[in-house]
């Protein structure tokens, strides 16, 4: 089985550095997602791994072999792109088998692989159709079929689902993950969609401006974001980042009367709290005023003012609160993330709030 090792990869276009000193490892048979906003260098990184563009510096190893300057065909990989690039005049079967024909794979072997791929993807009844006679999801499956019949140990995907509607995206995502696991593929998957990343990945590489912001398993990215950017990029609504200030006994929410939430000076610090970690409680930690309520069905998003800071709170269903109510907000000590505002880095500070007695954690 083939793993991938990327060492200090760099790509410069004229005077612009699209990929800066990127290093990561993809263990054999696992799925790594390159995640980040548009233009952060995800596709460029993937194209360098594929050999479609040449690295300015750095090293790419596949299965322990240095392929940094090897042509794409020598890298043992298959690719699926956002625009599936199916040949309109070829049937589904011909589209799936195109690459194998080019590589002169014998006919009996081609038939065996086509059967297997059609089986996995549920395309058996559609093999004679032309791409124009298929739905978006079916076309996507044909593109996946091509990657499957290649039987390459490594598969690279660049936003393969972005042309599909939300429902179909969800189904295809599950399908890709199950194919990757059952065929034991090593996969690198590019997306800007954090939910797709969180639900698919063994490892997420979060990129920003050509550099890696954080690499971690989804659960660690959520529980311990390394920077304020990572904190805001994962989660819906995003994590609240609340400015702190110096107060009596420690750092307080800026513009509030306290209490002290963390030890030491609050100047230049941000307190991160996820909307889903905050509760409205009788004995909550800070007083707040409800500014607006947005009803979403299963939950509601309340915008609350604490001191001169605004934060979002996610509560289940409809609560009996109205705009203008004064409430108290509580959270568990481990829900607090502290960041240095100027550096945007996570910092460790002693938390002063204590978990309320269970009896007092009654929601109002």
Ligand X SMILES: Nc1ncnc2c1ncn2[C@@H]1O[C@H](COP(=O)(O)OP(=O)(O)O)[C@@H](O)[C@H]1O
The answer to whether residue 41 forms part of the interface with ligand X (CB under 6 A) is: yes
The answer to whether residue 13 forms part of the interface with ligand X (CB under 6 A) is: yes
Residue with Cβ nearer ligand X (233 or 339): 233
Residue with Cβ nearer ligand X (32 or 240): 32
User: Shortest approach of ligand X to residue 42 CB, angstroms?
Assistant: 3
Given 6, 18, 144, 253, the residue binding ligand X (CB under 6 A): 18
Rounded Cα–Cα distance for residues 357 and 333 (Å): 13
Q: Annotate 274-307 with three-state secondary structure.
A: CHHHCEEECCCCEEEEEEEEEECCCEEEEEEEEC
Helix axes 136-149, 166-182, angle to 10 degrees: 20
User: Shortest approach of ligand X to residue 137 CB, angstroms?
Assistant: 23
Rounded Cα–Cα distance for residues 25 and 187 (Å): 11
Range in contact with ligand X (rule: CB under 6 A) among 40-48, 123-131, 166-174, 290-298? 40-48
User: Shortest approach of Mg ion to residue 39 CB, angstroms?
Assistant: 8
The answer to whether residue 39 forms part of the interface with ligand X (CB under 6 A) is: yes
Contact by Cβ (8 Å): 128, 93 = yes
* DSSP letter assigned to residue 131: G
Closest C-alpha among 282, 287, 281 to residue 306: 287
Contact by Cβ (8 Å): 83, 142 = no
The pair phi, psi for residue 57, each rounded to 5°, is: -155, 170
Binding site partner of 38, from Mg ion, ligand X, none, Cβ cut-off 5-8 A by kind: ligand X
Given 2, 30, 32, 43, the residue binding ligand X (CB under 6 A): 43
User: Shortest approach of ligand X to residue 189 CB, angstroms?
Assistant: 12
Rounded Cα–Cα distance for residues 300 and 315 (Å): 5
Q: Are strands 154-158 and 186-191 parallel, antiparallel or unpaired?
A: parallel
The answer to whether residue 43 forms part of the interface with Mg ion (CB under 5 A) is: yes
Residue with Cβ nearer Mg ion (37 or 255): 37
Residues binding Mg ion: number (CB under 5 A)? 1
The answer to whether residue 45 forms part of the interface with Mg ion (CB under 5 A) is: no
Binding site partner of 39, from ligand X, Mg ion, none, Cβ cut-off 5-8 A by kind: ligand X
Residue with Cβ nearer Mg ion (39 or 258): 39
Which string of b and e fits 110-127 if b means at least 16 CB within 10 Å?
beebbeebbebbebeebb
Site string for ligand X, 145-174 (x = CB under 6 A): ------------------------------
- Interface with Mg ion (CB under 5 A): 43
Q: Name the site residues for ligand X (rule: CB under 6 A).
A: 13, 16, 18, 36, 38-44
């Amino acid at each position: 089985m083939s793993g991938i090792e990327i060492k200090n990869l760099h790509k410069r276009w004229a005077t612009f550095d699209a990929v800066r000193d990127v290093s990561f490892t993809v263990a054999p048979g696992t799925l790594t997602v390159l995640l980040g906003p548009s233009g952060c260098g995800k596709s460029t990184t993937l194209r360098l791994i594929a050999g479609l563009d040449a690295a300015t510096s750095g090293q790419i190893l596949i299965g322990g072999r240095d392929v940094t300057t090897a042509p794409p065909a020598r890298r043992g990989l298959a690719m699926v792109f956002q625009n599936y690039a199916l040949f309109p005049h070829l049937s589904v079967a011909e589209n799936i088998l195109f690459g194998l024909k080019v590589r002169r794979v014998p006919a009996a072997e081609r038939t065996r692989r086509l059967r297997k791929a059609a089986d996995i993807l549920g395309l058996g009844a559609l093999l004679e159709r032309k791409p124009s006679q298929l739905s978006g999801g079916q076309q996507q499956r044909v593109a996946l079929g091509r990657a499957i019949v290649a039987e390459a140990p490594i598969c690279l995907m660049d936003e393969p689902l972005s042309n599909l509607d939300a429902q179909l995206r969800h189904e295809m995502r599950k399908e890709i993950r199950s194919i990757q696991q059952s065929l034991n593929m090593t996969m690198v998957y590019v997306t800007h969609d954090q939910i797709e990343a969180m639900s698919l990945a063994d490892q997420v590489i979060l990129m920003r401006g050509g550099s890696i912001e954080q690499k971690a398993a989804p659960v660690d990215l959520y529980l311990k974001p390394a920077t304020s950017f990572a904190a805001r990029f994962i989660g819906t609504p995003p994590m609240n980042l609340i400015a702190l200030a110096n107060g009596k006994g420690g750092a307080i929410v800026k513009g509030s009367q306290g209490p002290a939430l963390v030890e030491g000076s609050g100047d230049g610090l941000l307190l991160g709290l996820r909307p889903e970690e905050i509760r409205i409680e009788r004995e909550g930690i800070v007083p707040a005023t409800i500014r607006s309520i947005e009803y979403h069905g299963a939950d509601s998003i309340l915008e609350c003012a604490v001191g001169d800071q605004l934060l979002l709170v996610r509560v289940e269903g409809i609560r009996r609160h109205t705009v203008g109510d004064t409430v108290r907000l509580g959270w568990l000590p481990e829900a607090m993330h502290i960041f240095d505002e100027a550096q945007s880095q996570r910092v460790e500070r002693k938390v002063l709030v204590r978990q309320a007695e269970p009896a007092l954690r009654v929601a109002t």
